[in-house]
């Protein structure tokens, strides 16, 4: 008869060990991202399995544009779409920055295949 310590070492009479499941390791979002962009990063990297350096670079610049677009929109919403310069009323200067950042965000998503290419 085997001793308990020998049985334990050999794993005799015990339940078989479960091998740990391998979990996919996805790249973490860059530290300078805000919460919304971090969540988007995690979702896009997981859903589209972006792991190569080129895709991650495009995703990073796209999400930086998304952050810029969002900050511009928040500022415009707070101040208003029109500004006054003396007696002149003009469009808020951040409107064009928001438009450009939105275009960069959408271009990055198309380049990554997240959005369908734009028809001309």
Rounded-to-integer distance, Cα 13 and Cα 100, Å: 67
pLDDT band at 115 (very low <50, low <70, confident <90, very high): confident
Q: What is the pTM of this model?
A: 0.74
pLDDT band at 20 (very low <50, low <70, confident <90, very high): very low
Comparison of pLDDT for 103 and 3, the residue scoring more: 103
Q: Which two tokens stand for residue 117?
A: 């290419």
Q: What DSSP designation does 12 have?
A: T
pLDDT band at 46 (very low <50, low <70, confident <90, very high): very high
Question: For position 59, what pLDDT does the model report?
Answer: 97
Mean pLDDT to the nearest integer, 47-76: 95
């Amino acid at each position: 008869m085997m001793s308990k310590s020998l049985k334990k070492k050999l794993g005799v009479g015990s339940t078989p060990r479960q091998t740990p499941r391998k979990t996919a390791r996805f790249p973490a979002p860059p530290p300078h991202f805000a919460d919304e962009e971090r969540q988007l990063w995690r979702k896009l990297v997981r859903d589209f399995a972006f792991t190569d350096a080129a895709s991650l670079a495009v995703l990073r610049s796209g999400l930086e544009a998304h952050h810029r677009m969002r900050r511009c929109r928040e500022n415009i919403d707070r101040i208003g779409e029109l500004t006054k310069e003396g007696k002149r009323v003009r469009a808020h200067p951040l409107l064009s920055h928001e438009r450009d950042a939105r275009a960069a965000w959408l271009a990055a998503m198309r380049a990554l295949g997240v959005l369908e290419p734009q028809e001309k």
